[in-house]
Amino acid sequence: MLIRTLFATLLVAAFMWTAASAQLFTGYQPQQCLTSAKASIEGASDGEVIAILSVGTTIELGPAPLNIGMDLANGTSPLWLYLVYSQSLDTVAVVPFIRVLGSCTAPPLGDVAPDFGDTEGLRLVPVPANFVQGAALITALDANGDYAAWKAAHPDSTPTITMLATSDEEAFGFPAGTPFWVMNWISNEPDALPFICLVHATTSQTICFGEEIVSVDDQGKDGLFAMAPNPASDDLVISLPASWLNRPVSVEAVNVTGQRVVLRDLSPTAGPQVFVSTHTLNTGTWMVRITDGRVVSTMPLVIAR
């Protein structure tokens, strides 16, 4: 519901300001409007930005369509949305900003920008005063091998959602309260799972996972991997391609919150089947990630008990 509301706000904002004159608006780094965003809630002097968001969508401007998502060349966007929290007013507002002639300016939205009022269920930890952004963010992405493979296969892709926020639970060995950039590419293909990258917003450590993380090696693409049962409860059998025999193989599971669980490390494999205990996985949907260090294959797994 939150993402749908933000997306509707973004479309309205984008239409209104691009209809006036697209040439005035250029991409900017989100920290450039952070101070303005903090002061954006009327009557509040304690505004804090708890999340920053960009949605990748294209606005048709005659023969020159404009994508207002985050630019993967430099980490900028023509429009960022800031979630701003005021403790004194007990409210969270979504505030869109563009930069006109170098100044942070709210698009003429009127009453369209939502005020969430009740803050229950929202993460209210402010983003850090300084965070990885812009070129540094793109450098961290480009250094990740899984993202490099994705980018090579999808050179014109733009993240569907780009969001800076703090994790509300442990993720990838980092404690709750760690700030992350989360970038999500959602495929239009039926039943396709998203490709997701998380970038630690202070250390730049990057982790990516998703259905299409494979190398150019066809063994990762030819359907020679299988898992059973699926849904699973406490045990799982993974069938590997014959070419993977005698290779070191690692199996891990990642869920949608970023929780990562190592299931098996084999060095090397002795047979085409790998037996895995899944009793430590919580009920829900996971991505099982299988790698021999060169090829990575991922498959969805449902844990049901």
pLDDT of residue 101: 78
**Mean pLDDT throughout 97-118?**
64
The answer to whether the CB of 298 falls within 8 A of the CB of 288 is yes
Task: Give CA–CA dist 261/193, Å, rounded.
Answer: 19
Tens of pLDDT, residue by residue over 134-176, are 999 999 999 988 888 778 777 777 888 899 988 766 665 677 7
Average pLDDT over all residues of the chain: 76
Annotated domain spans of the chain = 1-213, 218-303
Q: Is 159 left (phi over 0), alpha (psi -120 to 50) or beta?
A: beta
The answer to whether the CB of 108 falls within 8 A of the CB of 97 is no
- At the top level of CATH, the class of 218-303 is mainly beta
Residues 6+ apart with CB under 8 A from 99: 25, 26, 28, 32, 33, 105
The answer to whether the CB of 212 falls within 8 A of the CB of 197 is no
pLDDT of residue 161: 85
pLDDT of residue 62: 53
Task: Give CA–CA dist 48/35, Å, rounded.
Answer: 9
**What is the pLDDT confidence band of residue 237, given thresholds at 50, 70 and 90?**
confident
pLDDT at 109 over 90: no
Tens of pLDDT, residue by residue over 24-81, are 568 899 999 999 999 998 888 999 999 999 988 766 555 566 677 899 999 999 889 9
pLDDT of residue 227: 79
In the chain, alpha helices (H): 2-20, 34-38, 134-142, 145-153
pLDDT at 270 over 80: no
